[in-house]
Amino acid sequence: MEVTSVFHVGPVGVTVPVITTWGIMLLLVALSWAASRHLRQDPGPVQVILEGLIGAMDRAISEVLPKTSAQVLPFIGTLWIFVVVANLVGIIPGLHSPTGFLSTTAALAVLVFFSVHWFGVRSEGLRAYLKHYLAPSPIMLPFHLMSEVTRTVALAIRLFGNIMSLEMAVLLVLLVAGFLVPVPLLILHVIEALIQAYIFGMLALIYIASAIQSQQLRQSEKRDNHA
- Per-domain boundaries in the chain: 5-226
Q: Which of 112, 83, 93 is nearest to 192 (CA)?
A: 83
Question: 227 pLDDT band (50/70/90 cuts)?
Answer: very low
Q: Rounded to 5, what percent of the chain is helix, strand, coil?
A: 80, 5, 15
Q: For residue 87, give Cα distances in angstroms to 78, 95, 142, 196.
A: 14, 11, 35, 8
HSE-CB at 149 with a 13 A cutoff on CA atoms is: 6
- The helix (run of H) or strand (run of E) holding residue 7 is strand 5-9
How many angstroms separate the CA atoms of 5 and 70, rounded? 40
Whole-model pTM above 0.75?
yes
Question: 153 pLDDT band (50/70/90 cuts)?
Answer: very high
pLDDT at 65 over 90: no
DSSP string for residues in 9-47: ETTEEEEHHHHHHHHHHHHHHHHHHHHHTT--SS--HHH
39-43, 139-143, 150-154, 203-207: range with lowest mean pLDDT: 39-43
Phi and psi at 7, nearest 5°, equal -155, 175
